[in-house]
A and B are shown apart, each in its own frame.
Chain A
Amino acid sequence: MTAVEDAVAVPAGKDPLGIQHARLPRWTPAAVAIGAIVLAVVAGAAADLGNKVQVGLIAGLLYVVGTFAVSAAVEGVRQAKDRLVTVLMWGAFLIAVIPLASLIWETVDRGKTVLDADFLTHSMNGVLTIGPGGGLYHALLGTIEQVAIATVIAVPIALLTAVYLVEYGRGRLATAVTFFVDVMTGIPSIVAGLFVLSLWIVILDLGYSGFAGSLALAILMIPVVVRSTEEMLKLVPNELREASYALGVPKWKTIVKVVLPTSVGGITTGVMLAVARITGETAPVLLLVFGSQAINTNPFDGTQASLPLYVYQQWANGNQASWDRAWAAALVLIAFVMILNLLARGIARWKAPKTGR
């Protein structure tokens, strides 16, 4: 009892009841910030620091320390810690934004220098890599073909696997499939590439081709689609299935005519996100498609180009003209992936399954 009375008695300051802490006024953070900046600039001038980044760091450090000190003096250590953490959270967020924003900015800024209609409609056939000119048409074509074939292979397997896990899956097989689908999500793309390399090119000796790349991309795509489809199928209310069974509809027809149409929006979203992911995969394409300067429309015969591989090879040429092309191709790649992502999320919102109220 005395302890409680003590605790109540301690902060007895301005307010008569003695149950409120002293609070800093709202303008305090701004005041501390101005103070920190002024001090940092003065200190920077005094120590003759030419580097603006260093002055900024000193100001940031002073702000953190100042906030804690002022708050600890007026509000107590617990409030001071809370304010300190708040400042650190904001700081972490702002610091993390810098590289990510720079990545997007640099790609757009440097990519737009050579990106025009000519660049999109010409290949590198007969173009000197040390000079300007050329384009990425052959790479764009290759990527679209490889990704399309991979999608055609992966989506049926993935959809049926997800249906098995959600609608039929009981027992040991389902547990094993669930676990290995999860583990498969984490396979490095280069390992998938090496697998197809050892099977398709080394053992079967079928040679580099767009199709070999598609096989590796399909391996990377299957687990992603299985996971997202699984989540979507689980969202379909059981009442719909039961209503269908009650009408005497067999299970397979219930799945095809009721369950899948209900979740078609979410499934489409998952497939599109997976397509966006494999479009940017470079490593398996490097091992299996090998790259080409000319247009090769046949994905089943001979080496092909691919957009991410094009970026890598232009970078590896090591001169400014090639780097410009690499940035432009990177911009096209990012734009393609972003548009797919935005479309996919739009469909997800538009076609979200109605899960009752």
Chain B
Amino acid sequence: MTSTPVETTDRPPQAAGSRISDQGTSRVGDKVFLGLSRGSGIAVLVIMGAIAAFLTIRAVIALADNEGNFLTTFEWNANAIPPKFGIAVLAFGTVVSSVIAMLIAVPFAVAIALFVTHYAPRGLGGPLTYVIDLLAAVPSIVYGLWGALFLVPHLTDFYVWLDEYFGWTKILSYDGTAPRSLFTVGILLAIMILPIITNVSREVFAQTPQMHKEAALALGATRWEVIRTTVLPFGRSGVISASMLGLGRALGETMAVATVLSPSALIRPQLLEAGGGTFAQNIASAFKEAGQYGRDALIASGLVLFVITLIVNGAARLIIARRKEYSGADA
């Protein structure tokens, strides 16, 4: 009887002893594990640094021999002797096609996100979210194939119609050739980034505090007024960052542009007509014929694309991070 309490009082020192010996081995285990996981984190930083470093090394080699001005030359003759190439056409095409894509995709994405969260009949919202998720996973080459073999031939009539009524703007005039143009690329990019922007916007809209919405309803607001006064202000920064994520994807999209666009070294205001180019498309199209020097030149243009997407994505993340700081207060 008395032995049991004695045993229990005995136990702590024993347990403590065993814990100390455990600690010896576990400290090694902890150190190894911490080292491994911290090392992986550092590896991520090293990869990012290496990407910037190696692209820069090759780009510097390419730019040293360039006969043209890298920023203002139109043509891309990196394999010629002496090499002459510039990113003017590529920068113009990349910006124009991405801007067109954003102008089309963002309003639609916001409308669809609102539709899914606030307008869709009960029971339709969940499956729709699921389908949008799946569409965001469709590979870009499939969009490219569809764009080149289905979208391009079907846009001719629409462009003829645009030319008839808006041809006087020069921007929307159309000469009847196959519409493998920057405008078509913009439309295709809009379709591609629509699911992503919709998804992120939807998540933000769904987080609108119920109290805000009910307060607006109690004041007699209609459904649209509820959205305008509570959901949209709450979700504004979310929509901005979602759009910038979409923009980042549109800027770097390669295959869909490479299949649809018929490239040329021209900057023209006629966006409906074939011609132009983008950074990513140029890399994919010119790569096969590129020699050692041509590759370095392509790497130089890739470095520009890398910096641009870095800035766009970094800005998007900073907006999201700032939003996190104040969203907790009024939840």
- Residues in B neighbouring A281, C-beta threshold 8 A: 139
Number of interface residues of A (CB under 8 A): 93
Query: Which of A60-68, A164-172, A297-305 touches B?
Result: A164-172
Least CB distance from A163 to B in Å reads 5
Which A180-229 residues have C-beta < 8 A from chain B? 180-192, 194-195, 197-199, 202-203, 219, 222-223, 226
Given A82-B225, A188-B280, A194-B299, A312 contacting B33 (CB threshold 8 A): no
Query: Footprint of A on B, CB under 8 Å?
Result: 19, 22-23, 26-27, 29-30, 32-34, 36-45, 47-48, 50-51, 54-55, 57-58, 107-108, 111-112, 114-115, 119-120, 130, 133-135, 137-146, 148-151, 157, 191, 194-195, 222-225, 227, 245, 248-249, 251-255, 258-259, 280, 283-284, 287, 292, 295-296, 298-299, 302, 305-306, 309-310, 312-314, 316-317
**A127-144 contact mask (Cβ, 8 Å, vs B): 1 or 0:** 000000000000000000
Contact B38 A168 (CB under 8 A): yes
User: Closest residue to A342 on the B side, CB-wise?
Assistant: B134
In the bound complex, CA of A320 to CA of B50 (Å): 43
Inter-chain contact A188/B254, CB cutoff 8 Å: yes
| A308 contacts the other chain (CB 8 A) | yes
Whether B302 contacts A194 by the Cβ 8 Å rule is: yes
| Chain B residues whose CB sits within 8 angstroms of the CB of A252 once the complex forms | 26, 29-30, 32-34
The answer to whether A81 has its CB under 8 Å from any CB of chain B is: yes
Does A295 sit within 8 A of B, measured CB to CB? no
Give min CB distance, B328 to chain A, whole Å. Answer: 15
A277, B137: Cβ atoms under 8 Å?
Answer: yes
A151 within 8 A of B: no
Question: In the assembly, what is the distance between CA of A287 and CA of B69, in Å?
Answer: 26
A interface residues with partner B (beta carbon < 8 Å): 51, 78-79, 81-82, 85-86, 88-90, 92-93, 95-96, 99-100, 102-103, 106-107, 156-161, 163-165, 167-169, 173-174, 176-177, 179-192, 194-195, 197-199, 202-203, 219, 222-223, 226, 248, 250-253, 255-256, 273, 276-277, 279-283, 286-287, 308, 311-312, 315, 323, 326-327, 330, 333-334, 337-338, 341-342, 345
Q: How many pairs of A and B residues are in contact by the CB < 8 Å rule? A: 264
Contact status B141-A161, CB under 8 Å: no
Contact B43 A157 (CB under 8 A): yes
Min CB distance A266 to B, Å, is 15
Quick one: given A92-B107, A106-B146, A202-B292, are A180 and B45 in contact (CB under 8 Å)? yes
Look across to chain B and name the residue whose beta carbon is closest to the beta carbon of A314.
B145
Contact, CB under 8 Å: B119 / A90: yes
Asked whether A199 lies within 8 Å of B50 as measured between CB atoms, the reply is yes
CB of A85, distance to nearest CB on chain B (Å): 4
B232 to chain A, nearest CB (A): 11
**In the complex, chain A residues whose CB is within 8 Å of the CB of B284:** 190, 283, 286
A281-B310 Cα distance, complex, nearest whole Å: 20
- CB of B186, distance to nearest CB on chain A (Å): 13
Bound CA span A337–B143, Å: 14
- Nearest B residue to A284 via CB reads B254
Contact B298 A194 (CB under 8 A): yes
**How close is B196's CB to chain A, nearest CB, in angstroms?**
11
Chain A to chain B: the 8 pairs with minimum beta-carbon distance, closest first: A280-B139, A188-B252, A250-B26, A186-B313, A92-B111, A252-B33, A160-B40, A164-B37
- A residues near B26, Cβ cutoff 8 Å: 250-253
B251 partner residues in chain A, CB cutoff 8 A: 188
Would you give 5 A-B contacts (Cβ < 8 Å), ordered by A? A82-B222, A86-B223, A188-B309, A198-B54, A282-B141
The minimal Cβ–Cβ distance linking B191 to chain A, given in whole angstroms, is 5
When C-beta atoms are compared, the residue in chain B nearest to A174 turns out to be B41
